[in-house]
Each structure stands twice: as structure tokens, then as C-alpha cells.
């Protein structure tokens, strides 16, 4: 049995080796930074924000004999739901870090899902519970990031968060290449 759970839709945020872009989504890949052209969504006229990043964590899995047998996790940026009012490097850098936070939690999900292989019980319930916890933690970090940086307007805090996120990414191994 194969199940697909779309695990995270951030409403603040291909296997082709060079593009990593499929059907309006850009998979998170080390060294591939967001560009202005990636923000394809319509800008709401009344929005007070400079930009919005829509990002997701996708999790697919299969079971065998009632146990998790295989799974795949990746973070992606949803171009058609993401927008930017004006081209500004500081805003782009802030939005990149929202996407990077999504990747952090995709990696955490991957590591924790791997542990599910050893557990017995209802795989859909275990996977759902795992997602809820990851989602809650990701939402909290996204909100903390916006609060502390004042949505990217505090350059000193933005710089601190850039270093913090880079450190977290370097300390959490990425998933196997077949999952990216």
C-alpha cells in the first residue's frame, strides 16, 4: 500500500540535476538559491508584506506486512503560490531562509521516519502523528524567525538567523540523493 501525505504548507513560504523544478515546484537543493523569477504568484493588493513564500514538505511511504518499508521526503517551493512585490535582495534573502527552515524540518522528518521502520502499529497513524509534531515545530520556528527579524527588517537579527539556519542545516544530514 502506498500513501501520500502532503505534510507542510507554509503560508508565510525533478530529478533533473540542474533545474530541480517540476510542475511549479522547486525542490530544495544545496546551493540552489531562490531567484526573483521563482516567485510566480499574484501579489495581493492589500497585503502589508513584501513577499510570501509557499513551501511544502512532501512525504510518501509504503508499507509491507504492516510496517513502514520505504519512504521519501523532500522540501519544495511552490512558485505559483509565492510572490514578491518588488525585487529586493534583503527580501529575497529573508524568503530563502523560510525555504531553508522548511528543509530543516524535512530532514528532521526523514530521520524520524526512518525510526518508524522499527515500530509496529498503525503506520498511517504513526506517520500522521509524526507529521503533526514536525509541522507544529516548523510553524513555531517560522513564526519565531519572522518575529525576531520583524519579517526581515532587522538586519542584525536577519544575519543571526542566517548563521543559525546554516549551522542547523550543516548539523542535520541531508536525505539520500534518491530522495532529493
At 52-91, the pLDDT tens digits run: 999 999 988 888 888 888 889 999 999 999 999 999 999 9
Contact 179, 110 (CB under 8 A): yes
pLDDT value at residue 131: 86
Q: Where are the domains of the chain?
A: 2-179
Extract the C-alpha cell encoding 118: 522499527
pLDDT value at residue 22: 60
Cα–Cα dist 60/170, whole Å: 24
Closest by CA to 133, choosing from 118, 148, 112, is 112
Extract the C-alpha cell encoding 88: 529586493
Helix/strand/coil percent split, the chain, to 5: 45, 20, 35
- Mark the ranges of the chain whose per-residue pLDDT is less than 70: 1-22, 177-180
Rg for the chain, CA atoms, rounded: 17
| Percentage of residues of the chain with pLDDT beyond 90 | 65
Amino acid at each position: 500500500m502506498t500513501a501520500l501525505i502532503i505534510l507542510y504548507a507554509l503560508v508565510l513560504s525533478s530529478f533533473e540535476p540542474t533545474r530541480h523544478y517540476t510542475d511549479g515546484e522547486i525542490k530544495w537543493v544545496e546551493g540552489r538559491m531562490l531567484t526573483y523569477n521563482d516567485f510566480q504568484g499574484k501579489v495581493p493588493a492589500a497585503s502589508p508584506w513584501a513577499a510570501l513564500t509557499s513551501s511544502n514538505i512532501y512525504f510518501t511511504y509504503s508499507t509491507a506486512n504492516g510496517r513502514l518499508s520505504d519512504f521519501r521526503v523532500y522540501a519544495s517551493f511552490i512558485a505559483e503560490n509565492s510572490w514578491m512585490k518588488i525585487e529586493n535582495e534583503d527580501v529575497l534573502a529573508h524568503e530563502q531562509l523560510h525555504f531553508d527552515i522548511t528543509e530543516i524540518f524535512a530532514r528532521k522528518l526523514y530521520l524520524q521516519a526512518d525510526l518508524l521502520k522499527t515500530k509496529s502499529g498503525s503506520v498511517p497513524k504513526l506517520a500522521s502523528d509524526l507529521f503533526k509534531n514536525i509541522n507544529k515545530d516548523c510553524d513555531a520556528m517560522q513564526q519565531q524567525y519572522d518575529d525576531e527579524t520583524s519579517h526581515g527588517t532587522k538586519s542584525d537579527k536577519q544575519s543571526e538567523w542566517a548563521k543559525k539556519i546554516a549551522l542547523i542545516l550543516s548539523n542535520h544530514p541531508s536525505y539520500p540523493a534518491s530522495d532529493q
